[in-house]
Structure 1
Amino acid sequence: MATIAIVNPLFEVSYWGMEHAQAIMGTRANMPVASLPLLAALTPEEHDVTLIDENVEPLDFDRLAQFDIVGVTGMSVQRFRMDEIIQELKSRGVFVALGGPWVTVEEDYFHGLPDVIFVGEAETTWPQFLEEWKTGDHQKRYEQADRTDMTTVPTPRHDLLKNKHYMFGSLQFSRGCPFQCEFCDIIVTFGRKPRIKLASQIINELECLRSEGMRIAFIVDDNLIGNKRGIKPVLEEVAQWQERNGYPLAFMTEASLDLCEDEELMELMARCNIQAVFIGIESPNEESLKETKKFQNVRERGGTLLEKIHQIQDFGIEVWCGLIVGFDNDKPDIFAMQTKFLKESRIALAMVGLLHAIPKTPLHARLRQEGRLDLNDDQPFGTNVIPKQMSRETLRAGYMKTMFDAYTPDVYFDRLDQLYIQDRFRLRAFETEAFRKRPLMRLRHATFYTVGFGVLFWKLMRGTPDRELRKIYRQRIFNLVRHRFTNPSVCFYYLTKCAMHYHQHKMTQQMIEHPDTFVSTIGKSMRTRREATIEQQAPLPVLRNDPPHTASAAECPPHASRSHSR
């Protein structure tokens, strides 16, 4: 028997991390990375497993030195902390296993320090390694020959996490995406053929999350609807579970923009209580979308980009989005275009990021061939991409201004109020047939959101240190209540947007005040949306590193600029 610790390193401040909002919400991290509990589930029962997330508890290296094996996982934005942890562990003679998204794309980054590395998914290689480790005949490098059959993945050990310290939980339905976005490493790591779990597997995991007291969870799939035909019967089973159990869980997820084309699918998602979707919009510049092969965002079916977003919002599912600046077809006017687009889209929560070329992606290969990659690990402009139609200084300055404009309080709340007050956004999940037919369930949920509203308001007023921001939040909240007091769920979620605004506003403020120190860490501390997604879904082989995904040596909701977006 081996004693095994699996470690998720500390994240730096990022879009997805919500670090500045944690104190307000009374939590330490937004959500657990999915690979940790999955790797624990993949570990044979004869071994003793401990999960350690540095985002919710400090690392005790003296304690770690007592384990037979210490697994470390991580994304690119965690690579510096990963390196520190590995060096400290090796100085103490610890056996180190390394996996996750970063080592999957940069196998030589840690200069041979780890005793073993895992590349890609690890559902078969992690148990194989443990068996070979017992005989002293393990390999130095493991990579699965075939992609994981998702119907064989065990229920993650959520019970081994310190769940009380997370804002919400995480789980995964599928892996893979059918599209071909040039900058995306998801299709490199997980392939373009979506693989979906059985409904029974997902129901088991829902029961596990429910038993751990979770009320909200992020479905970390990079694109939940990558296989629309395949996911519909699964969603039907989840919807029936929600209806039987009185809707104990609320979800957020990631999906592609073509969701708007399928009302049956949106209705199924609403019945599952999926209340918000993160969509990779990337850019209002159609030439940039075509350049990066994001064709699903430019096809004529469904209308314009804005019309597609509005269709999803008007149906009753809130839209969050990812935006990118720095494509080859982006000129200096792209920053004003992004600001205008955000206003017209009514999207309050937007993750704006600089285009970054992840190793092994088509974008990385192309730019390297063109001599337009900054191969320096310490990138003073926040990205390794050398833009084509503007200087690096212009790109960096424009990016910071776009972020500043997006999260200036009046601008942010004008977008939010346009959706919630003027256009009277309503969550479709609470208007489905199951809700309409069950008045007691409606009353129970109304009570939950009403009490939750009061608790969150108290936390927000008590925890926001900026007096002027507290005043703005209070005024905006009172204005919302005057118009929407009969809809407690809308009031509750409006307050969560206030807390999330505080994080984004604070993060942007720090970036503006210290551009050289803060922006230079964007490439490392703000994970690309796509990476974040990856981690949450792949069962990182022992060292996963993103939000909450599955267990893959590479893996991914949602810290910083999660590059998930389909």
Structure 2
Amino acid sequence: MADIVLINPKFETSFWGLEYALDLLGVKANLPVAALPLLAALTPAEHRIELIDENVRPIDYDRCARADIVGVTGMSVQRFHMREIIAELKQRGCFVVVGGPWVTVQEDYFGSDVDVIFIGEAETTWPQFLADWSAGQQARRYEQAHRTDVTQLPVPRHDLLNMRDYAFGSVQFSRGCPFTCEFCDIIVTFGRKPRLKTSPQIIAELDCLWRRHGMSTVFIVDDNLIGNKREIKAVLRDLLAWQQTNGFPLMFFTEASIDLADDPELLALMSAVNIRIVFVGVETPNEASLRETKKLQNLRQGGSIVDKIHCIQDAGLEVWSGQIVGFDHDGPDIFDRQIAFIQEARIITTMVGMLSAIPKTPLHARLAREGRLDEVDNPPSGTNVIPLRLDRDQLRRGHLRVMQALYAPEAYCERVRHLYLHGPLASLEHWPKRPWPAHLRQSLAALVQSAVIVLRLESRVRDRALRQAYRMMIKEALHRRSPLLLQILTIKCAMHYHAACLVKEMAASQHGINTF
């Protein structure tokens, strides 16, 4: 029997981490990492396992020193802190294993500081390693010969985490994406053929998150939920039946490619099951840059990108977006073009990053051949890409200017008004109609959360101009006499406060914010 501790390192402050908003929302982190609860569920019963998410509680290194095996996972943005954690663990004599997205693309990053590494998916290699370790013959490196059959995965052990620490629950429907975006590491890790869980699997996970852990909002973490449109439609129909039977206990947000706009049936299904927000990798309004990076799905016929985003919004789904500056075809005008595009598209929440090259991606290979990679692990500019038509300081300053313009209170509140107060989401007509008792409970909960957030905004936001902007938006929401709309707009205020603090931090720094 092994005594095992698995660690998810604390993230540095980031756009999606919502660190500055967490206190306003009354939680410690936005959502639990998917890997740890799943690995725990895959661990044979004879082993003892403990999960530590450093985003909600500190690492107990004395506890780790008593364990037989300490596992660390992490993404590229966590790699610096991962190195610090591993150094501390090794100093205490721990047997350390490492897996996750970063070591998958940069196998030698931690060198001899770790005892075992896991490359790619680990659903079969993790149990194999534990069997090898028990026999005293573990290997140094594990990599699955075949992609995981996701239809065989168990319900993750979320019971090993305190789910009340998180704003949202998380669930995975599928893995893989059919597209070939040059900068993306998803197809490196998960492949281009989408693999879906069965409806009973997914519903079992959701039922557990709702009934056992009290979650009401769940992030479907798929990198592209609609990679296989035919199969996901079948799953959504089953999910709709479950939602209807239980009075629509869950609200979802997810990620999808922009060709969602081309399928009215799929749009209607997603709205019907109560998917209210969809993140779309828009990247850029520069069509030459989209062709350059092979994001051809954004260039398909059927209207402009703005038209397609409006189509998704008209179906009742809010669109969040990812934008990138620094493509080879981006000139000095790209910054103003990005600002104008986001305002026209009515995208309230958007993350604008500088193009970065992740190891093992086609972009990384191409730039390496061209001698355009910065080999410094943490470049001062915030990206390892040497741009073609922009100098690096110009890119860094332009990136900051875009974020400052988009998250100026006036611009942000204007996008909120155009979408939720005077636009397609103003009536909330696409939201599911719950039975009266459930509707009443939801309305009361929305009013309570709204009141709490408003009080925290008033007492904890020091910037008077920000407080005034939030008061005006909340006042407009109150005039609509809709508890749900009020809840949405108070959360938008909290999210803006996070973005405003992050942009201020970026401006104060002499270095770019690391985006890879």
Structure 1 length normalisation: TM-score?
A: 0.89
How far off is 1:454 after superposition? 2.4
What do the CA deviations read for 1:490-530 (whole angstroms, capped 9, x no partner)?
Answer: 221111111010001000011112233xx1xx32xx4x5xx
Show the 5 A alignment for 1:410-489: 410-426=410-426, 430-432=430-432, 435=433, 438-482=435-479, 484-485=480-481, 487-489=482-484
Q: Per the alignment, in what secondary structure is the counterpart of residue 112 of structure 1? A: helix
User: Cα offset for 1:481?
Assistant: 2.2
SS at match of 1:405: helix
Partner in structure 1 of residue 18 of structure 2: 18
Q: Which residue of 2 aligns with 1:554?
A: none
* C-alpha distance in structure 2 between counterparts of 1:222 and 1:152, whole Å: 20
TM superposition shift of 1:426: 4.4
**CA distances 1:395-451 after superposition (whole Å, capped 9, x unpaired):** 11100101111111111111111111121514768545xx27x44443443333233
What does the per-residue CA deviation read over 1:44-103, in whole Å, with 9 as the maximum and x for residues that have no partner?
011111000111111121111011100000111111111111111111110001001000
Q: Is the 8 A contact 1:69 1:94 kept in 2?
A: yes
Q: 1:427 to 1:473 in 2, by over 3 A?
A: same
Q: Which residue of 1 aligns with 2:494?
A: 499
Work out whether residues 183 and 363 of structure 2, in 8 Å CA contact, stay in contact via their aligned partners in 1: yes
Distance 2:183 2:171 in 1: 25
Does residue 515 (structure 1) correspond to residue 510 (structure 2)? The answer is: yes
- Provide the C-alpha distance between the structure 2 equivalents of 1:155 and 1:343, rounded to a whole number of angstroms: 41
Amino acid at match of 2:347: I
Amino acid at match of 2:471: R
Q: Is contact 1:273–1:429 with CA below 8 Å preserved after alignment?
A: no
The code of the aligned residue for 1:13 comes to T
- Equivalent residue number for residue 198 of structure 2: 198
1:255, 1:404 → 2: CA distance?
Answer: 27
Q: Which residue of 2 aligns with 1:246?
A: 247
| Alignment-mate amino acid for residue 151 of structure 1 | T
Provide the residue aligned with 2:356 in structure 1: 356
Identity over aligned pairs, percent: 56
Distance 2:155 2:510 in 1: 43
CA–CA separation in structure 1 for the residues paired with 2:343 and 2:177: 29
Between the aligned partners of 2:55 and 2:106, the Cα distance in structure 1 is: 24
Equivalent-residue separation in structure 2 for 1:421 and 1:429 (angstroms)? 13
CA distance in 2, matches of 1:439, 1:153: 37
Rate the CA distance shift 1:195–1:426 in 2: closer, same or farther, 3 A. Answer: farther
Residues 271-309 of structure 1, C-alpha deviations (whole Å, 9 max, x = no match): 2211100000000011101110101111112x1110000
Q: Residue deviations 1:192-221, cap 9 Å, x none?
A: 100000011001101111111111111000
Letter of the aligned partner of 1:391 in structure 2? D
How many Å separate the matches in 2 of 1:429 and 1:232? 22
Deviations for 1:10-47, whole angstroms, at most 9, x for unmatched residues? Answer: 11000110011111111111111100100100100111
Question: Which residue number in structure 1 is paired with residue 389 of structure 2?
Answer: 389
What CA distance in whole angstroms lies between the structure 2 residues aligned with 1:387 and 1:147? Answer: 35
RMSD of aligned alpha carbons? 1.4
Distance 1:173-1:32 versus aligned 2 partners, 3 A rule: same
- Supply the distance in 2 between the matched residues of 1:515 and 1:170 (Cα, whole angstroms): 35
1:24–1:464 CA contact under 8 A, matched in 2: no
Name the residue aligned to 1:225.
226
Give 1:338's aligned residue.
338
Verify the 8 A CA contact 2:218 2:253 in the aligned structure 1: yes
Partner of 1:287: 288
Give the aligned partner of residue 149 of structure 1.
149
- 1:327 corresponds in structure 2 to 327
User: Structure 1 residues 230, 287: CA separation in 2 closer, same or farther (over 3 Å shift)?
Assistant: same
Distance 1:3 1:164 in 2: 26
Distance, in Å, in 2 between the alignment partners of 1:155 and 1:428 is 33
Q: Does the 8 Å contact 1:315/1:428 carry over to 2?
A: no
- Counterpart for residue 77 of structure 1: 77
CA distance in 2, matches of 1:208, 1:456: 28
Residue number in structure 2 paired with 1:543: none
Q: Distance in 1 between matches of 2:88 and 2:315?
A: 52
Which residue identity lines up with residue 488 of structure 1 in the other structure?
Answer: P
Q: Partners of 2:163 and 2:431 in 1: how far apart? A: 30
- Which SS does the other structure have where 1:277 is aligned? strand
Q: Which amino acid aligns with 1:476?
A: M
Distance, in Å, in 2 between the alignment partners of 1:426 and 1:440 is 24
Deviation string, structure 1 residues 312-342 (Cα, Å, up to 9, x no partner): 1011000000000000000010000000001
Structure 1: stretches of 5+ with no match in the other structure: 529-566
User: What is residue 118 of structure 2 aligned with on the other side?
Assistant: 118
Residue identity matched to 1:225: I
Change (3 A) 1:139 1:427: farther
Cα deviation code 1:236-285 (max 9, x no counterpart): 11111111111111111000101111111112112221110000000001
User: Match of 1:534?
Assistant: none
Distance 1:424 1:253 in 2: 19
| Larger CA deviation: 316-325 vs 414-423 | 414-423
- 8 A Cα contact 2:314 2:424, kept in partner: no
> What is the rounded CA distance, in whole Å, between the counterparts of 1:429 and 1:4 in structure 2?
49
Normalised by the size of structure 2, how large is the TM-score? 0.97
| Count of matched residue pairs | 515
| Deviates further, 248-257 or 417-426 | 417-426
Range with greater deviation from structure 2 (174-183 or 454-463): 454-463
Query: Aligned partners of 1:50, 1:158: CA distance in 2, in Å?
Result: 11
- Counterpart CA distance in 1 for 2:192 and 2:426 is 34
**Which amino acid in 2 is paired with 1:281?**
V
Kept in 1: contact 2:316–2:430 (CA 8 A):
no
Deviations 1:92-135 (A, max 9, x none): 11000100100000000111211100000000000000011001
CA offsets 1:333-372 (integer angstroms, 9 cap, x no match) = 0000000001101011001000000000000000000111
Deviates more, 1:288-297 or 1:444-453: 444-453
Which residue identity does 1:450 align to in structure 2? L
Mark the CA change 1:6 to 1:37 in structure 2 (over 3 Å): closer, same or farther: same
Question: Do 1:23 and 1:463's aligned partners in 2 also have CA atoms closer than 8 Å?
Answer: no
AA aligned opposite 1:513: A
1:373–1:385 Cα contact (<8 Å) kept = yes
Counterpart in the other structure of 1:532: none
SS in 2 for 1:89: helix
CA distance in 2, matches of 1:431, 1:57: 36
1:270 maps to: 271
* 2:117 aligned counterpart, secondary structure: strand
